[in-house]
Amino acid sequence: MKIAVVSESPADEAAIKILVDAIIGHETELVSASRLRPGGWPQVLNLLPSIAKALHYHTDAEGVAVVVDSDSSPVHLLDQPANENCDSECRLCLLRNCLGNSLLRVSPVPNRASLRTAVGLAVPSIEAWYRCGLDLHVNEARWTGKLSGERINYSKRSLKVDVYGSDQPSLQAETTAAVEAARRLAHNMDQLSQLFPSGFGCFLTDIRNWL
């Protein structure tokens, strides 16, 4: 299967592909990995329609996996009615709708099935996923508590330091640590979906629906 990955840092592309492979159960082929100019969240949302359309028209990718950090935005609420945002700020809902709307409007290409999509929301950042299995205190429920004012013992910055040994790692150090973490998580999908039932759980379900 051929897939495309959209993430906030090139360091995470390989790691996300490893997670997708683990969910699907065999190795996929990465046909396109999108890089974003430093600029953060709004840029992902602005660019995603162009990326989705280009993947549809110009590549033979069968699926696209998008993973973004939640930062200080809300954690996605499970059990939402379809096509309704759980919160106007929920990035998972915004990305899902954005992808869905963009792909609804593309014209058909002969011999091409419609592009399958999966959206993940790393709460608060993908480093939290990378810490799964090493630090049980890092999970979505904790972060939800923090968003409503509770004191917790980690932050986006401390997660970076824990994963890379620095909050400003080189791209190479970042990639190495991300890939190593993803290989470990590939054997522990259950724990990842238990501790991150919303942001990772939805991603897992989306990808299982590809099969």
Partner 1 sequence: MIKSVHFQNFRALRSATLPLERFTLLVGPNGSGKSTAMQAFSFVLGRSSFSFQEWLTVGLERSEVVAVRVTWVEDGQEFTTGGELRSSSSFTVREELNTDTPPFYAGKLRDYLSSFRVFSFDAKAIAAAVETTPNPQLGEDGSNLAAVLDALRDSHPERFEELNREFNRWLPEFDRILFETPTKGRKSFLVRMAIGHHRLRASELSQGVLFALAFLTLAYLPNPPSIVCFEEPDRGIHPRLLMDIRDAMYRLAFPENYGEKREPVQVIATTHSPYLLDLYKEHPEQIVIAHKDKQGVHFERLSEKPHLNEILEGAPLGDIWFSGILGGVPATP
Point out which residues bind Zn ion (CB under 5 A): 76, 86, 90, 92-93
Residues in touch with partner 1 (CB under 8 A): 10, 32-37, 39, 43, 46-47, 49-51, 53-55, 57-58, 106-107, 171
CB of 99 to partner 1, least distance (A): 14
Instruction: Pick the closer one to partner 1 by CB: 48 or 204.
Output: 48
CB of 1 to Zn ion, least distance (A): 27
Instruction: Pick the closer one to partner 1 by CB: 134 or 171.
Output: 171
Picked from partner 1, Zn ion, none, the partner binding residue 54 (CB below 5 to 8 A depending on kind) is: partner 1
Give the tokens for residue 208: 């299982």
CB of 84 to partner 1, least distance (A): 23
* H/E stretch holding 54: helix 41-58
Picked from partner 1, Zn ion, none, the partner binding residue 57 (CB below 5 to 8 A depending on kind) is: partner 1
Instruction: Pick the closer one to Zn ion by CB: 7 or 198.
Output: 198
Query: What's the Cα-to-Cα distance from 89 to each of 73, 129, 205, rounded to whole Å?
Result: 6, 21, 22
Q: Is 91 in contact with 73 (CB distance < 8 Å)? A: yes
Distance CA 185, CA 69 (A): 18
Distance CA 154, CA 132 (A): 13
Picked from Zn ion, partner 1, none, the partner binding residue 151 (CB below 5 to 8 A depending on kind) is: none
CA 175 to chain centre: 16
CB of 96 to Zn ion, least distance (A): 8
Residues in the chain: 211
Instruction: Pick the closer one to partner 1 by CB: 88 or 107.
Output: 107
Picked from partner 1, Zn ion, none, the partner binding residue 189 (CB below 5 to 8 A depending on kind) is: none
Residue located via tokens 């709708």 = 97
Query: What's the Cα-to-Cα distance from 50 to each of 14, 22, 31, 103, 106, rounded to whole Å?
Result: 22, 28, 16, 10, 11
Distance CA 200, CA 182 (A): 13
CB of 49 to partner 1, least distance (A): 6
Instruction: Pick the closer one to partner 1 by CB: 49 or 197.
Output: 49
